[in-house]
Structure 1
Amino acid sequence: MPKHIDPLFSSDAFTMLEVYMGIDAKRLDTEEMAARNYSVLVTEAHIIVEIPVGAVGGYFKSHIQDDQYFVTYTIEPMLELLWIEEVAHENTSYKVLFPITTPPMARPPQVRNYTPLDTVPEQAVFVLELGTFNLDVELLNITFPTMVLTVAECNARGFNVQEQRSPDNTLKTFRMEVPFSDPVVFKERRAEQGVTTFTLQLIYGLVIFPEYAPFSHSAVVDAVLLDIVPPSVTGYCDQENFHITVDYRNQEPFFVVLVGKRLLNHEFAQQYLTEGDTDFTITLPFSSPDAVFESVHSSAVRSRLDVALLNPYNNMTIKYFSLACSFLKTLTECFSNGTMTALAVKVESAPGLNPGQLTLSDPACGPTYSDDRFAYFHFTVNSCGTTRKFINNVMLYENEISLPDELEVKLNATTSSEEEYQLKVSCSYVANITRTLAFLTRPRDNEPFAETGTGRLMVRMRLAQDASYNTFHQEEDYPVVRYLRQPLHFEVELTTSSDPKVALVLDHCWATLNEDRDSRPRWNLIINGCENPEDPYRVVFHPVEADARVRFPPHVKRFEAYMFSFAGDAVEPSGQVFVHCDVVICDASSPTGGPCSGQCVNQDNLKRGIVLTCQIKCSI
């Protein structure tokens, strides 16, 4: 705009006082102009305004010329001036509004093909995107070689036509998905090349509002796919796990994997999946929630894992594989301290069973732990309705796991099942032998199943800090430094038993120079439950009384030894001595002889009786 405007100026002697810019007759301050990238420059002869095409304050409009798509940009800037002339000494204000529309700019639409080529032809989809357009353009219909479909008809056919807008809400595109299997797609098989070509021809019918100006855009897209060998699924079981291998041959995986009822996601894959060049292997434990238990047999659980390969676009099954195996497991265990445990398993044929509602013969004895698949029972032979009887030289303890009668009736009414949920648990004891039997009774198969169970007793040895036996050295304290002849206070404890009728006896204790209990040299501290008669500084046994920490004194033994060095062994701060003990677990109510006669009893004339023994190594 010229700075000197005739005939508004009477002379060339004037002073420009203010220059303001605005849009749509509204002034803009400096911050607003900077945010919109507007600029105003005042020279000797002109006032120059610069506005970027597409800047805030204007708008785009769509146009059609010879069926070609164009856009224009329109904006109405304002200039407001204030000056004073030296002759008249009067202020003059002038405002001008100047609408500007750019010449038509060609913006030919583009069809972008995002079709994934990592799938088999029957399950692939053309993914097309047409754009970009101003917001005044709408898609009306699409013409295929054999038919014309409106947008609504396309969506009903499964083409999933969608309008997508840019983040600033100024432009739009039209997205569409057409399955290779639809009749509008032309297919050509080239056997000699081992490929199949899929071609899609279409014409988009569009319109510009509000003048309702129609135009069209045609496109041809195709995809050439290699012939694909369908994936294969194989599997096997070891003693603990399922191993299922999916081989996808000459293509990248074009499917999603359903393991049981769970999709194979990233977190699942990190924990259970191992990948090869053209395959991957899923390794899952037999007790995984993704597997189902089919049945329970003698010393075994039959578990099944189902795997399906699904089309990610329509969830159709590409491949289904099922692997069922029997896993050798002890569901019932009996321990020599009179403790019995049993694990009840929910099988597939009893979907309505809640394992947490199962009880022992005494309905007040429910499971120690339960979830939606298991119920675990832990009880003693003299509790929860356990019965005892003698058969020749065998003592037999029996109990039964089942649903309470009222729940059994309710469950059968709900599931139309005649199953009786009964698990009979039996423990048989004979001289020097502990044997476990479990019987599962079912209405259509009354044959009992027998299984053998084994148990383990836990014993620990600790070094007390003093003769009070109230505080003990922790693992990080070792090695503990002692001088010659300083006392060492040891405590050995049976930690897992709650049976007051059993007792722990120290059979043998000895010291070595390293952790190997059988190494040499060796010095005996306790022999056959008594002090070593050749030791000039014999061990001292300390009595154990019940207190807040010691519930069963017969389960604990304490003795005091004195620090020594082996002959020829230089006593240095770095030297170490390791102490080991063998212990015997006895029936305290029947001390029949041998080590079970008591700690340090003259055993020369005693006859060894029935003893349950376990051996443990403790290193200090």
Structure 2
Amino acid sequence: MNCKNRKTQRNINCTSIYDFQVAMPFDIIMFCKNVLVLRPAGLLLFCVLCNSVATTIPVGTFKTECHDHHFWLTVKYNFLGHMVRFDIEERGSVHFLSHQRAAECGYTMVFNSRGDLVLRASFLACYVDNKKDAEFRLHLWFVNKEANGKDVAYPVLLSCHLQQPWSPRQIVCEENYMEVSVKKEISTASRQDLKWLDSPILAPEEERKGLEKWQVAFHKPEYPGGESMPLRDAEIMGYYINTTDTRIILRCPYSSVMSYMLQERGVPLEVVHASIFYHHMWRVFKVDVSVACTMNKATTDGEHIVGTFPQVLSPLVEGRFMDRGMWFGMDTHLLSECSMKELGYKTGLQNGVVEIRIPLGAKGVYIKSHVVDEKYAQSSSVDLFYVHKWKDGQWALTQYLSFRPLKTLYVPKIPILIKNTMPSEKMFSVTLGPFPHDVSLRNVTIGGEPLSLVETVELGFKISFVPFNNGAHAYQLKVPFSHPLVSQKSIDGGYRRYTLKVTFALDISPHGDVFYHHSTVVSDLPDIVLPRLEGKCTPEGILVLLHYGNQDFQWEMYLGNRRLDWELVELGGYILKTEEDYFSVELPLYSLGMTYEDLSLQGLVARVEVTLVNVQTMGAEHTFVHHCSFPVRELLVCLPEGKIVVLADTSRTIPPIEPNHTTLLDQNCRPTDSDSTRALFSFSVDSCGTIHTLMGNHLVYENEVRYMEKHLSIPDPLIEEKPRYRLTIQCRYPVNDTSTITISQPFYSAFTPPTHEIKEDFRGQRKPEDT
């Protein structure tokens, strides 16, 4: 399509774009033949449409600002076509901005970290209507190739007034060019300087030729004396030199012919060291138009993006250096100290180098994806600009402005494949990520067969988009074990191996680069699932669960050496439950089947031993032991082989007594352990004053836990001393057999021996007995 404006033929060109959004209101104020006039806040926008006429523009499409001697125009990401370009109109002519011409003329076209297209133009750029360095107007055309292939041109008229006074010297380091502008009539040229000038330009009658007679001298390390040339020769080499009412400008792209590199405090600089000679009112003036920009990339320590700037740029400083402050900004706004603190940004000055550290996860940090050597990589960037002001021996004030964003080099980043497969569900589940917003899943290849995302759903697979709070995302893939694209085979040990071979193809926008992630996931599932025992501790006892498995055979459960049957269930007070895939039996604490291993102040340790027996073979298929610890306040344990352990609780005595001062009948037998309310004794039946009594077919061993009152006066031997606390304990063993165990909970009496105590035999049945 050809678009014509006045008499100028307009050819549509292209450049690539990213994605993002900005909001801004528009009001339609007029519509006429092929012309749509819209008025956004602060911006007059005319829409000239050639083959296609658009009657509306989405809200927030264009945003403009006047900022620090620059025009800023932002075009919202979702308005950008596949190809876009800017043309500049001046006095009826339209100028195409190639990359080279944009750098020479003071225009920068970039995509910010959010994907919007940003045009920055210097107030001193080519084609700007400049009124006395105070009012500036720029008429440009935004040309958009839409999705239907048609080209539409949108002219935009930008208008800005000078908001901040010009500094005597202003230096701009843009992403694609360097610019310096200085106030006119800085100093008169000396005779030593004049040796570079051709004598004809000194004649006053030639002054009217203006810039044609100006000369510029470039200085490089290999040319210590400098190399002088007319401005037209410098322009051929890509240097733009011009003058306004009050300023002299030099601008050039990076890596220009007369530039050179040097290191400043370890930071690489690109330098153009130049002087301009011009004459005015019979006098010859010399102005220094040197410019230097940092060329280093940002670095990362794994947690921060780190940017560095020399505090003093020696090629730009003459005489004494006096710092007048430095600032950082994001987008179009300077950041206050409070804002930087909230964002986690930190600045410092070390060994003459200004350093800024930005957390990788902080607001404003953009993660960009790349494909390097067919592998996935990432770079980090943040759209910061740097402002520095200083005074020196030559300049009353220099303002240095760097728009070069902090960008790290490409770092290989292997995507993480998380395997969430649960064999019991018979479903592969894998999650790949995390990825920034510019990565999207194109398709998957499973078992060697490429599948579109639609085909995966039709085949019974499930692909899910998994978002994260930080804006990243991942992709989850679920594939049934039984699908034909999953390979399977039998392996040793009664298992079947399922193998999923998957390749993820992922796109990187906006350029459509593709990278692949290959993975093989293996899961072994038993072909034969045997019964499995599991134990759990409950407040009341021990719970034993039997998971059936998938084998059909008869089995019997043994608790200890006793077979589980209804008689044992009733004797032990067991609780049984039967579910679809498991069976459970809960054993109360003091019931049959329990084995007690230890009693201490920390509690009673009980153990249950379970055995599964195959009825056909009478062989033990599985043996299982589970331990639990139960807190107790008071307990008597009659252990095998004639050992007694008692835990006595003295907390109910009024007034309280000290448990560590209690004894047995033999006052030399004191507690083996105690705390503020309990005493623990452990002794054999033939010690500590234990009394033996034969009662029928049982031997009864009796002792007492007692606390004797302390008397300050000499005791009367004729008066029997009574204990303040007495707890009678008994253990009963069959004659000629001390291998049994009993558990009792003794009864407490504060001053006199109890008439009864509650005993509990090994079956957990309580009965009163005379003491």
Same fold (TM over 0.5): no
Greater share of strand residues, 1 or 2? 2
- Please state which band the TM-score falls in when normalised by the shorter chain: 0.3 to 0.5
Using the size of structure 1 for normalisation, the TM-score is: 0.36
